[in-house]
Structures are given as C-alpha cells and as structure tokens.
Structure 1
Amino acid sequence: MTAARSPRWAVSFADLCLLLLGFFILLQVRNDRPDLLSAGLRSAFGTAPAEGVAGATHQAAALFQPGEAVLTPAASAMLRGLGARARADRKALRIISQGSDGGARRFDRWELAAARAAAIGRAASAGGLAEGDIEIALPTTQERAGKGQNITLLLVPAG
C-alpha cells in the first residue's frame, strides 16, 4: 500500500496567490494616500525618518510654546530649512495635524490646532516655499487621551 502524495505545486501556488493579493492591496492603498503608505512601510521595517526631517511625526508641544500657536526658535529654524529644501527639490509640503491640545489659554482646541498648522505653513513659506506648494490637512481634532496634537510633515511631488 502506498501513501498518497500531496502535490508540491499547491504550496507554491498558494504562496503566489498570497503575494499577488498583498500586491493588489498595496496598489489599492497607494492610490489613496501614497505618502502615508510609504511612511507606514518605512516604520514597519525600522527605517522611519529621524526627528526634524520630513516624514517625521512631531508632538506639537515640542514645536510650540505651551497653549499657543507660536513656534519655538528651534522649530522655526527647522521649518524654514525644510521649506528651503522643499523648494530646492521642487517638492510640496503636506502638513497633517491630528488631535488637539486641551490646555489652550486664548484659543479653543479647534482654533489652536488650525493655528498651529498654519504657523508651520508660514514658517516653511518663510524658507522660500511657495504658498501653493503647502497643503494643510486636519483629518481629526478629537482629543486623544493624553496624546495631544501630532503633526506629520511630508514632502510630496509638487503639482
């Protein structure tokens, strides 16, 4: 009596199907937000960009004076340099602000989140980047338990 042999090709075929499925999922996601997809893949493989460069997510509290939309001198210089680099590389800057800080003195949390994103745009513009090459997105201003406002800076193709 001989044992039934399983076809070896079935494993290779299953691997191929899973690889194709993953590839098509990545293609679909890439059409919507390629910058977020690439940032996520970089962080998954441990090659996330360092703080102070485009692609990094910053805590707003580290960039601004407490409860205000006024940049610290170091953050202002970093953002002017980022604007100059984006202009030289013919890139646009996408500013994505998520969350909000509840500890504002003069503003409510929505005004503070928007004013901070605008202040970052102004600083990049002071570095030479044209206003038309700056995009600001505020997908959510919901307060996230203890996380405050996070701001992601992405250099994307201009146009």
Structure 2
Amino acid sequence: MRREISQRWVLSFADLALLLLAFFVMMQAQVGDRIKLVAGMRDAFGGSGEGDGDGSSSTIHGLVAANAFEADEAILKSGEAARLKAIGAAAAKAKQRVIVASQGRDGHTARLDSWELSAARTTAVARAIRMGGVPDAMIEITIPPMRASEPARGQRISVQPFPGAGSR
C-alpha cells in the first residue's frame, strides 16, 4: 500500500518566496528615503547596525534649507558651510560614504523654480561635504520624486555618514 505524498510543502514554499519577494520590492521602492529605511530596518531587527563602534555612522545631521541658505538662493551661509565641511572632514578621515538626502521643497524664486532650487541646495550641501575631503564617488545624493500638486512646505536636508569605502 502506497501513501499519497502531501503537496502542502509546495504551498508553504510559494508563500515564503512571495514574502521574500515582497520584502525586496518594498526595500527597492523606498530608495528615495534610504536613511529612514535603514533606520527602520535597524529598529525592526533590534540591532544598531555596523556603526556600533563610535556611533558616528548613525548620526544624522539635519538642516532646514530656509535657515541654512541665503534667502531665495542656493548659497550656504558661512556657519553652515563650515559645519558641513567639518562633517566631510570627519567622514573623509574615517573613510566613510556620505548620503545627502533632500525632503520637500521651498517655493519658487525670481531665478529658480522650486525643483531647481531644491536640487541646487542639495548639490550645494554635497559640495560643502566634498570640500571636507570626501571624494565624489563617496557622496550619494538622494532626492525623492516630488509632485507639482503637493504644496511647497519647506526643504529639509539630512547628511549621514555610513561606513565602508568600497561597499557599493
């Protein structure tokens, strides 16, 4: 007498594969907000990540664009430029990559529309980091998509050093 082989394992395997696929799709969909994604993943799995040593990799340096830049321009105020250069120098010394992430946008100016101003300010922050000694290949700029239908509520820029010179 021969027993019929159960096919339940196939269904369980398919469920597991779909869950894994959904996990990776979610991670890929959140690329525009990578810093928040990394922090959320770290919290979800109960770890503090690679940066346990000195804590510098988990430090997020944030700035409000309206306060850090000259009015209606993409020119950093001298105090902010010096602060960002110091962050860049520390990251260069530790051979860390730096992620510059922008969220939101300010209103348009006589010279630039809101998207151009947002991109120019984010780039100015990256240039200040580069002045600290971080090479271009180690700086990642992230600007998530913005819709014209969403009101301009102000731009916030965050800078976060991450360990690993050649991890990309």
TM-score, length of structure 1 as denominator length: 0.66
| One of 116, 135, 145 as aligned partner of 1:130 | 135
Instruction: Give the superposed CA RMSD.
Output: 3.3
Specify every segment of 5 or more residues in structure 2 that has no aligned partner in the other structure, as ranges. 1-19, 44-57
Corresponding position of 1:17: none
Offset of 1:98 from its aligned partner?
A: 1.5
1:35 to 1:102, Cα distance in 2 relative to 1, 3 A: closer
Q: How does 1:28-39 map to 2 (within 5 A)?
A: 35-39=35-39
Q: Percent identity?
A: 34
Q: How does 1:142-157 map to 2 (within 5 A)?
A: 142=147, 145=151, 147-156=153-162, 157=164
1:130 to 1:30, Cα distance in 2 relative to 1, 3 A: farther
Corresponding position of 1:158: 165
- Contact 2:104–2:152, Cα closer than 8 Å, also in 1: no
Q: How does 1:95-114 map to 2 (within 5 A)?
A: 95-114=100-119
TM-score, length of structure 2 as denominator length: 0.63
Secondary structure at the aligned position of 2:140 is classed as strand
Distance 1:64 1:42 in 2: 32
The letter for the 2-side match of 1:89 is A
Q: How does 1:29-108 map to 2 (within 5 A)?
A: 35-40=35-40, 54-108=59-113
Offset of 1:57 from its aligned partner?
A: 3.0
The letter for the 1-side match of 2:112 is F
Distance 2:25 2:160 in 1: 17
Q: How does 1:1-40 map to 2 (within 5 A)?
A: 35-40=35-40
Distance 2:36 2:165 in 1: 16
The letter for the 1-side match of 2:138 is D
The letter for the 2-side match of 1:141 is M
Offset of 1:119 from its aligned partner?
A: 0.5
Specify every segment of 5 or more residues in structure 1 that has no aligned partner in the other structure, as ranges. 1-23, 44-52
The letter for the 2-side match of 1:36 is K
Secondary structure at the aligned position of 2:106 is classed as coil
The letter for the 2-side match of 1:61 is A
- Contact 1:92–1:155, Cα closer than 8 Å, also in 2: yes
- Contact 2:108–2:117, Cα closer than 8 Å, also in 1: no
Offset of 1:152 from its aligned partner?
A: 1.5
